[in-house]
Chains A and B, each alone.
Chain A
């Protein structure tokens, strides 16, 4: 048995949704023409019940995708197509009853060429039943092979194998707008609808995405995710936050969203797993934080392999392997504690007076006074072959009960306060 899903007046972008809808029921799906999909329903009774129940479920699945479709089930694909075209709603043709059930349908359900249709109508033939009663040999003589094919279809006796749809697994949604959009807010609704469709299609193929490409005319944004996601709300929020940070330069008339498919994430959580944020929520939090403080100010610090003071870079924060860096390190509770440094970024220029080649008085940024204790200098230099070389003499000093690290920049011949011990 074969089932046909037919959408009267189908638009071009409904084909993908139709195929997805059919694929949820059977792997053997034929995309016959625009708005018509046929799939092999043989053996589905064990999963979904009788053919009437299957047809009902198919109609529900189509409705979930926003498609109002006619569903027909018949013993051969062409009879199913004729029935879907001819009858509204759900139709089930039992095996052997095709000819009798289809007889009252108009000839247009066979989708004949205009020339043949006019010829047949000139004979006074209006229905499939009347056409099926004509002698086959004379039809062959007058209408040729196409006429014979239509004659078999009218009898509901055409048997042909379906041509399975070869899926390229591209998840793309495109909307051409009648009027240009100039602000981001209306885009939220459009993107939300498109991503709903994409995620629904990905779910039906058991796929998720780790990369979403958004094209707004010539403006293109790529959203890379550290984990596979198929949550439309999350993707919409992430795309909107990204667009707020990088708005399109011109009004938008065409929106294209493509999701690169990948296998969905499968996680087995445990009772004793250490506390960490949910990856999907974390992505959203990071995107919102970037909108507040700027992209370069959120992340994980990575110390650079150099002796240059305060050399680090901000990396994208993501949850890697748990405990990968601290393997074998246990909690070390001690009575003493490491002293920490708070840095002034950028270093504060200071006025320093020397006595016996050691700093004795300092003034910088509201701090001034005699230096009670000073230890140093610790000389450090590097990258002398580069324009951003450094060459400095560092001192630890105590001023007014506060301990600072200061340095003398040999190259610039100036003193700076680098930070305070705390």
Chain B
């Protein structure tokens, strides 16, 4: 009896060592070769920002992507670009607006098809959470944006990690992208990808020409490249 269990434990140890060696050999090319395929493979969709798409391959479907940063750092512009890109593919999107701050006029000028964007205007965090839950449960939306940027940071922080994991589980096997906008990162480990935006100067002539922003990839479940940020010029043609 002792001999059989001893053999089993030896085989087990050998398989663990072999697995560790294989994972080490595959390195960054195949990050998790032994993970369940359904859980590991994310189909990515473009953001509409060429440099960012080149660097990251886009944002993953069936997962949470977070964009955080201070005001005037280009968070909303990135969100509008992602929604416009989805509309260009004829996908239907939803925006849960935490503080009724969305400007449909500049968004339409930037390429969003307002007839294919469901806009839910909220005033309280509770409404934002309930609305997002309903939209994710309803299904069928290509992108669902949860905009927490204008809510107090303490409110955004008060959302429990369990809620984020619940959202993540809801969309896990669906083609929906949940995009969370916030002043600082709040989704934590439930996010498949986290971008942080930062303003790097403005351009003025006789008019306000736009901003220069950087988008840093703070967290990504995909293989990391050496460069972890991109520079983006945000032109003001659509707001003037």
Contact = CB atoms under 8 A, between A and B. Distances in A.
Interface of A: 274-278, 281-282, 284-286, 288-289, 292-293, 297-303, 310-312, 314, 317, 319-320, 322-326, 329-345, 373, 375, 378, 396, 398, 401-403, 405, 419-422
CB-CB nearest 6 A-B residue pairs: A277-B140, A285-B138, A274-B90, A338-B110, A301-B104, A396-B208
Contacts of A335: 49-51, 232-233
Contact of A274 (B48, B91, B115): B91
Contacts of A288: 134
B138 A282 contact: yes
Nearest to B232: A337
A333 B77 contact: no
B92 A276 contact: yes
Contacts, number: 221
Interface range on chain B: under 10, 10 to 19, 20 to 34, or 35 or more? 35 or more
B175 interface: yes
A293 to B, nearest CB: 5
A364 B138 CA distance: 40
Classify the interface of chain A: helix, strand, loop or mixed. Answer: mixed
Contact of A338 (B111, B113, B116): B111
B105 interface: yes
A250 to B, nearest CB: 30
B140 A303 contact: no
A276 B111 contact: no
Given A334-B50, A335-B50, A335-B232, A340 B121 contact: no
B169 to A, nearest CB: 19
Contacts of B114: 300-303
Nearest to A373: B204
B77 A422 contact: yes
Contacts of B104: 301, 303, 312
Contacts of B110: 337-338, 340
A366 to B, nearest CB: 11
A310 B50 CA distance: 30
B140 A300 contact: no
B92 A402 contact: no
